Each structure stands twice: as C-alpha cells, then as structure tokens.
Amino acid sequence: MDGVDMGRSGIDSSVPHPARRYNYWLGGKDHFAADRASGDQLEAAFPNVRKGALANRAFLQRATRYLAAEAGIRQFLDIGTGLPTADNTHEVAQAVAPESRIVYVDNDPLVMVHARALLTTSPQGRTSYIEADLNDPGTILADPTLRETLDLDRPVGLMLIAVLHFIHGHGAARPIVAELLAALPPGSYLVATHATSDFGTPEQQALYQQMVEDGKSDVWTRGRPEFAGLFDGLELIEPGVVPASEWRPQPGDPVFANNEVNVWAGVGRKP
C-alpha cells in the first residue's frame, strides 16, 4: 500500500480491519499483511467467502439502482462504507440521478483517507464523509456533515451493507437500526445484508462458532429470523429477505449457490 501516512491517519497496520479484508477478497490493493492473514485464515476454513463478498457487492449495486431509478430516492446514508472500488453507492445513484447526495460513514481511518482522495461526485450532487462507528448511531446522526449534506425531512436510503454482523450479541443490532430509522422520515428505505451460518452444515456452524469464540473471526452471524426482524414495521420490497444473489438478479451478475453466498439481503420501505 502506497501514499498513506499511517502515523498521521491513526492507522494500525498490525490489526486486521474488516474494510481492508473485504477489499482483499474483492481483489483490491488497499490492505496490509494482517488483513491478508485474517482473510486467508477465514478462507481456509470457508473457501466460498470471496463468492459471498462478490454477491454482496453486486446486491449493493442493484439495490442502489432500484432506490434511485424506481423508488426516486436522492439521498443516501451509507454506513460501513468500506474501501472504494468500482461502482460505489454514489456512482450508481448519480449515474441515474446526478443530483443525488450521499454521506459515507466508516470507522477505519484508511477508508476516509482514500474516500476523500478517490471518490469524486457529480457536479450536481454531493458526497461527504464521516469517520464514526455504527455502535454509536447518535454520533452519526448528530454530525454536522450529515445535516449539511442530507435533508432529513426528505426520504433517505439507509445502506447497511455487510456491517451489522460486526455488532456482536443476540438482538444487539436491532436497537441500532431502530435508532437510525427513527431519525428518517416516511418514504425512507433500509437496505441491509448480513452474514449467516444458515446454509452451512452442522459441522461448519460449529467450526465457525468456535472461531468466533477463539477470536479468529470478528463476524457475528445471524439467522434469517433475527435478520428479518430488522425490517419489522417496514414494507418489504419483493422478493423480500433472500440470499443476496437472489434479490432481483440481473444478467451478468455472479450466480452462486446459497451455501456459497451465506449472506441474507433485504430492502424495506418506512411507511
């Protein structure tokens, strides 16, 4: 990795970070040895993990396009942004509606360094960045950058893509999602994906649980009932809560079996 002053940016290259590990799985170049080691360890135990990352990324693009082209959403709050790759949320949205406004949020300083340098917006729209943690939704919502970029009296697309599974504990994700949605007006949308062990064998599920307990994985998987519960009170958009690769697939999208993807996905509208 070049061009990043780790001392100034507060980046600890010795500790793996989900955004950089995800970038590694997607074939990017913005990762350190610790990220690669973490990614390789998970991939050794679960060889399909890269397929899940690809299916998740393709879903993000389809769901963003749906919000911009069919639902008329022009504002997006993308929390857990990850490192920039092709067809980010603002690029997909602004290709449909150049006036779209996007706020990206991540807790990795490296993400913010690269985002500010690489993510260019359309002349008509706006893209802003907040360094903050999903565990503290109140700080995100109170950040002046968010209020300067988005009008919270108008519908917002809340994007929680492959980030909620870093909130550990049964039931722990729900109050965070509820607090974020409560701040958004009717007509807003929740777009979310989440890693799951639902499609694994009992042996795979036991192995994964042991990895979590041993600190070898930071991903807290959730089953379909708990993930679907995040959409309670929302109007689910067809086809509902499904594996990521089955949500409105398009020609050319990667096609994988459910036990290769291992990611639930859904889109819901706040009435």
Question: What percent of the chain stands above pLDDT 90?
Answer: 58
Tell whether the model's pLDDT for residue 3 goes beyond 50: no
**Separation CA 264–CA 250 (nearest Å):** 17
pLDDT of res. 7: 41
Q: Which residues contact 183 (CB under 8 A, 6 or more apart)?
A: 141, 152
- Work out the pLDDT band at 269, boundaries 50, 70, 90: very high
- Work out the pLDDT band at 249, boundaries 50, 70, 90: very high
- Is 3.90.76.10 the CATH number for 8-269? no
263-269 and 189-195 strand pairing: antiparallel
* Cβ-contact 49, 43 below 8 angstroms: yes
Tell whether the model's pLDDT for residue 9 goes beyond 60: no
Q: What is the mean pLDDT of residues 160-173?
A: 96
pLDDT digits (tens, 9 = 90+) for 92-117: 999 999 999 999 999 877 777 766 66
- Work out the pLDDT band at 2, boundaries 50, 70, 90: very low
Count of CA atoms in the C-beta half-sphere (13 A) of 8: 5
Tokens of 63: 């769901």
245-249 — which CB contacts under 8 Å span 24+ positions?
A: 245/55, 245/58, 245/59, 247/59, 247/62, 247/63, 248/62, 248/66, 249/62
Range scoring the smallest mean pLDDT among 173-182, 187-196, 250-259: 250-259
Query: Model-level pTM?
Result: 0.85
Range scoring the smallest mean pLDDT among 123-137, 152-166, 204-218: 204-218
Q: Which residues contact 112 (CB under 8 A, 6 or more apart)?
A: 9, 106, 129, 131
Q: Quote the DSSP letter at residue 128.
A: E
Q: Which residues contact 25 (CB under 8 A, 6 or more apart)?
A: 39, 43, 49, 50, 53
Crossing angle of the two packed helices 49-69 and 33-45, in degrees rounded to 10: 100
pLDDT of res. 197: 93
Computed over every residue of the chain, the mean pLDDT equals: 87
Q: What is the mean pLDDT of residues 211-234?
A: 92
pLDDT of res. 11: 66
Adjacent-strand bridge partners of 77: 103, 158
pLDDT digits (tens, 9 = 90+) for 28-71: 666 778 878 776 777 676 667 778 888 998 999 999 999 999 99
Range scoring the smallest mean pLDDT among 8-12, 22-26, 124-128: 8-12
Tell whether the model's pLDDT for residue 173 goes beyond 60: yes
Tell whether the model's pLDDT for residue 177 goes beyond 50: yes
Tell whether the model's pLDDT for residue 179 goes beyond 50: yes
Q: Which residues contact 117 (CB under 8 A, 6 or more apart)?
A: none
Rg from Cα positions in the chain: 18
